[in-house]
Amino acid sequence: MPAKPFVDLSQIDFDNILVDQAGIYTLNPHRYEFMLLDGIVHIDPEQMIIVGYRDVKSDEFWVRGHIPDRPLFPGVLMIETAAQLVSYFALRLTGRNDFLGFAGVTDVKFRGTVTIGDRLVMIGKMAEIRDRRCSGDVQGYVNDQQVFHGRIAGMWL
Query: Is 66 annotated in the active site?
Result: yes
Instruction: Pick the closest to residue 94 from 141, 137, 48, 60 (CA basis).
Output: 48
**Pairing of β 19-20 and β 39-44:** antiparallel
d(CA 1, CA 97) in angstroms, rounded, equals: 38
Closest alpha carbon to 71 in 62, 81, 80, 82? 62
Q: How many CB atoms lie within 10 A of CB 55?
A: 11
Amino acid at 46: E
State the catalytic residue, choosing from 30, 42, 66, 149.
66
Positions marked active-site: 66
